Each structure stands twice: as C-alpha cells, then as structure tokens.
Amino acid sequence: MADQRIIRAAAVQLAPDFERPGGTLDKVCAALDEAAAKGVQLAVFPETFVPYYPYFSFVRPPVASGADHMRLYEHAVVVPGPVTQAVAERARRHRMVVVLGVNERDYGSLYNTQLVFDADGRLALKRRKLTPTFHERMIWGQGDAAGLKVVQTAYARVGALACWEHYNPLARYALMTQHEEIHCSQFPGSLVGPIFAEQIEVTIRHHALESGCFVVNSTGWLTDAQIESVTPDPKLQKALRGGCHAAIVSPEGQHLAEPLREGEGMVIADLDMALITKRKRMMDSVGHYARPELLSLAINDRPATTSMPMAASMASSFGPAFDPMQTAAAAGPGGATTDSTSGGDHERQHESVAG
C-alpha cells in the first residue's frame, strides 16, 4: 500500500531577542501558536536560536568578546530546565514535533545543541554539533556520535544536523543509514553574506536528492539594529547581512514552497511521504544502490566521558572477552561515570528563565 501520510511542516525564520532574558523563548512559543493555527505538525527553528547565535564571535577577536561570552553563559539553556519545559508544553498542546537549536550549558561548557520534541512533549533527541566551525570553537565544546540518531516521532522518522555538519558526508550518511524521512537542518542566517544563502540551497537540495528524504531548513535573521549592536564597523556589518534561506525541499530536490531569504516568517508546505518511495525505488543510497562489501561506515556512538571506572576502561580496551568482575572486585566500590552528552547531574545546575 502506498504511503498516504501528508505532514505539514514549517521552516521558521526569526530574529532572536538580544536584549530581554526570555525574549527569544517567548518568540518561539508565539511562533508555535501561529504555526498550530495553520495546521503545522512539524516546526524547525534556527541554529542555537535560544537565547541567540553568538554572532559576536564572527566579527570580533576573542580578547574583545569576554563580556559577551560571559553573558551567553548566563542565559544559556540547561537541559532539562525552564526552556525545555516551556517548549515541551507547547509541543504537547499543539501535537507538534518541534526541532529547536539552543546554546546548551553543561556546567562549565557550552554546546551547540539540537533538541527534538515529539508531539506528546517528550524530548525525543538531544544531540550536540560534532565540531564547531571556525570561530565557533572559541564558544562551544565538541559533541559526540551518541546523538547522531534518527528518531521515530508521531509523524515520521526525523534526523537533524547543524550548519557545516552538512559538509561532513559521513555524518549525513550516518543519518541516511537510519532511514531518515524528514531531515531538519539549521543554520544561523545573517552570516557571511549572500553567498551563504546560495551555499545553503545547494547543500539542502543535494542532501534531499542523495538521501531520498524531505529537508526542512531553518535560518535565523538579524535586523539592521541588531547588526549595528553586534559591531559598529560598516565593513564587518556586511558579514552579518544575507545568508538566510529558510526552505522546504522534496526528496526529488524541488522546493515545495517559495524560500524565505529576507525578514521574519515561515515557509510552510505539505510533505507527501509517498515521494520518498518514488525517489528511492530508483536510487536508494543505503539500500539497493549501496555496496557495503566495498564501502561502509563505522560509527563510535558511545557517549563521550571525562571519566570512566577502571573496570569499564579495561573492558573497553580488551574487548568483550575481558571479565571486568575481577577488576571491579579488586578495585572496591567507587567510581562514577560522567556522561557529558546527557549533561550529567542537572539537579545541581541552575538555569535562569532565559532565551
């Protein structure tokens, strides 16, 4: 039987609120209410949208960015916390899958994190950008492959990558092997210049064709006043204009609605899931068109940790034949694993209602 699912999706393009703590979160909630009124079942927001993308790091040297970096720490998102609680409530209320980019704080480190909320409000996926790009390495730590997952949501199998992760073909292939149906891509927008928008378009259309899935791409937007607040230098301001391309692309690489390159708004389209089979019957890059005996991908999907009990460390080194019980008995009690991917013990963290 043909796939009869029709899913209404929205690629949201908004400007963050630089001034008011909690302001960006309010814009997210308002956008979700607006999208729900239009029948949207899946909504995607820009990269690290809450509280805001660190545009300052692109146009200022680190020595001149200390105060802004500290402010980002103060308003960053703890997972779970008030921000995730508010978005989960909206997702549940509207029966909507929500993909949100946040600056996540895990104790003393910040991460570029993508959150996928299912239509029942459950946090279905939390993943961190594998390698921050260029200037971003002064802001965020590295993610791991533990979150490089496709999750089954109420409406479809959903995966996500952020920005230049799309230029890591192995990361994209990892999601493709998990039979991604809707790929949610996020870019900061208002960065680099007009050429960035062209690069984004090429990137998302290529992934749609190669994977045989839909791509819902969200980019951020900065007003002229916000650009001037980031830098007073007219030459540097040019690097913060353009580069926006909110769009929805079919498995055949076609735009399903007019992309949005200027201003705030939503790109909304109905995704006919039967188009996935139409594409894959001719070219399934992880199925009948693959040659796994010639080319294959190995993924280390263990969570990155900063400490590991000796027994677990030895077992990891020597393989499954190693019996850790003797080592554990000799070592005695103690030793705790700190999972940097899950964010550790958040009961000891504090998050102000920011965004």
Which residues are known catalytic residues? 47, 129, 163
Do 282 and 253 form a contact (C-beta atoms < 8 A)? no
CA distance 194 to 261: 9
Residue ranges of alpha helices (H) inside the chain are 23-37, 56-59, 66-75, 82-94, 169-176, 194-211, 224-230, 234-237, 274-280, 310-318, 324-331
Do 135 and 81 form a contact (C-beta atoms < 8 A)? no
CA dihedral for 125, 126, 128, 129, sign (positive or negative): positive
CA distance 276 to 181: 7
Report residue 41 as tokens.
């079942």
CA distance 101 to 53: 9
Eight-state DSSP code of residue 246:
B
